[in-house]
Chains A and B, each alone.
Chain A
Amino acid sequence: MSVSIQQVIDSLRNKYPYAIGEIKTFRGEVSVFVKRELIREICSYLKKEFDFKFIVDITAVDYLGRKTPRFEVVYYLHRFGPDFEENIRIRLKVEVPEEDPKVYSVTSVWSGANWLEREVYDMFGIEFVGHPDLRRILMPEDYEAFPLRKDFDVRNREPSKRSFERALKEGT
């Protein structure tokens, strides 16, 4: 079964008419904005109907002062075609407001999303509801700031210092 990206978008539009927002194409890559509340349903729908078995990447972008809602969580899905030429990829985007930085976790759809979501949580402070093990992954566990947010001051060493001093005291 060969599938084109247009078929996938049409089917999504039919199934979730209110959840699909703007669709952008840049340099041959398609990004689809979807409603935040429905990301898990849409992901499992794509996995079931179109065989998007593979999660390539989950990341986020902080658009502080450039647009509202502030954050975008970006999902990049891959479908293995029967032939090498028929591999297709789609990028889903979810807008996340600053006041309520929460998204449903997609770990139940792909277990590979586990660490990717943890990294987004670690770097942006976006909480993934339903994640089995949402802890910091790269930064120390008691670190207080979210480094990849645009309002993080790179010259401010205080969070690292505090976390280091605590570690020295506790001896871990």
Chain B
Amino acid sequence: MERVQFIKEEVDQEGKLRTETLMLNMGPQHPSTHGVLRVVLHLDGEIVVKAIPYIGYLHRGIEKLCEHITYQQCLPYTDRMDYVASICNNIGFILAVEKLLGIENEIPERAKVAEVILFELGRIESHLIGIGTSAMDLGAVSAFLYCFKERERIYDILEMVCGARMTTSYPRVGGLPEDLPENFEEAIRNFLKAFPKTLVEIDKLLTRNRIWVERTKGVAYISAEDAIDLGLTGPVLRGSGVPYDVRKAMPYLGYENYDFEIPVSTDGDAYARYLCRLEEMHQSLKIIEQAINNLPDGPYIADLPDIVLPPKELTYTRMESLIRHFVLVYEGFKPPPGEVYHAVENPKGELGYYIVSDGSGKPYRMRVRGPSFVNLQALPKMVEGRLLADVIAAIGSIDIVLGEVDR
């Protein structure tokens, strides 16, 4: 809050006390805006009269960039949107392209189950950061450390599977680029054993913590009607009592076969969203457990020579495979002309990819419906008429990632 400016209002002619609203510029460089969000606040004393978010400081033009590269090359760009759950963005993009190609039924079961496990790990990772950072913004640094300790374990698993910790760029169109590592199952089982303890610890640290409860309960309230009207999704919508989850409403990756619940709270405040996130992590564990028990053997990538790269050893030893590899990398696969929208339930809400193909190897138009972008719209509604300190709690409870807001 480096720049402060006073706006003088007209003096009241009836001789009442002259009041002034204070304009306060919060961000873009502010630790509790979770990136480069700038909010201009008009304050009357400590009450927020008006809040205007300004975004775009991290705009990289991902949608434009993707128009100039092949479908496979778009994948690393999707990491850089919601970078705390990049694996979820990757899988969402892959599913959209598979839908465009019409090959959903050809994807081997092993790849689908592995993607479900990774997707839920991504959800846990994102919720850990969401809870940890919003608690840290309100002064509870210890919860943040517990969350980050556990996030490192998820990063270890991701590193084992795809070689990268944060920017995973992992699955490929058609399945997994290589088989899961041998000790994958063991690592997941260890995680399933260890993680509930951390959940209990976070629960103990925050759920009945007097300061946390008082700072979040009744704060940043949004009603169910407003939440639907504003197009909010994810824990923000479910915290207001709307049981909407893409995994149940429009199942993908075989989510209809898993037994899990959609946690809903009707309070509509920051505390309700925290409880939803906490319970969602329990549900994610449940899904991972069911998935790892049913992880089938067999192929990990579809047998589609026009789309999937040939195995590396064949590329080195056979001329035909080398040619195919070259053509696929150079020109890319060519989906039929048409357009699809595919949505996945990202940790922060509904992430949709709208891809228009003109029959060439590059997307004619790729639109990303980022959940953070739409959810951030609710900020003025949440904080106007409330205290300045509640703005911090509200931003933390929406759980935005500016990489996805600005794209």
Contact = CB atoms under 8 A, between A and B. Distances in A.
B56 interface: yes
A14 B102 CA distance: 33
Given A56-B231, A111-B229, A138-B56, A61 B244 contact: no
A31 B339 CA distance: 10
B56 A56 contact: no
Main secondary structure, interface of B, reads mixed
Nearest to A91: B341
Given A27-B338, A76-B341, A116-B374, A139 B59 contact: yes
A112 B340 contact: no
A55 B230 CA distance: 8
A57 B377 contact: no
A74 interface: yes
A139 B56 contact: yes
Interface string A111-145: 11111100100010000000000001111100000
Interface stretch (B61-69, B198-206, B305-313): B61-69
A84 B248 contact: yes
Contact of B64 (A136, A140, A147): A147
A56 B229 contact: no
A29 interface: yes
Interface string B229-255: 111100000000010100011100000
A59 B367 contact: yes
Interface in A39-79: 53-57, 59, 61-62, 66, 74, 76
Contacts of B68: 154
Main secondary structure, interface of A, reads mixed
A62 B341 CA distance: 17
A53 B228 contact: yes
Interface stretch (B149-157, B267-275, B348-356): B348-356
Contacts of A54: 228, 231
Nearest to A63: B364
A155 B263 CA distance: 48
Given A87-B249, A147-B64, A57 B230 contact: no
Interface residues of B, number: 40
Contact of A26 (B250, B338, B407): B338
A110 interface: yes
Interface string A128-172: 000000001111100000011000101000000000000000000
A80 interface: yes
Contacts of A114: 377
A111 B356 CA distance: 26
Nearest to A122: B56
B99 interface: yes
B406 interface: yes
Given A116-B374, A119-B373, A148-B63, 8 more contacts: A29-B339, A31-B339, A56-B352, A61-B364, A62-B365, A74-B354, A80-B244, A138-B55
28 contacts: A26-B338, A27-B340, A29-B341, A54-B228, A54-B231, A56-B341, A56-B369, A59-B354, A59-B367, A61-B356, A62-B365, A74-B354, A76-B341, A76-B352, A76-B354, A87-B249, A89-B250, A110-B230, A111-B229, A112-B229, A115-B376, A119-B373, A123-B63, A137-B56, A138-B406, A140-B56, A147-B64, A154-B64
Interface of B: 55-56, 59, 61, 63-64, 68, 99-100, 102, 228-232, 242, 244, 248-250, 338-341, 343, 350, 352, 354, 356, 358, 364-365, 367, 369, 373-374, 376-377, 406-407
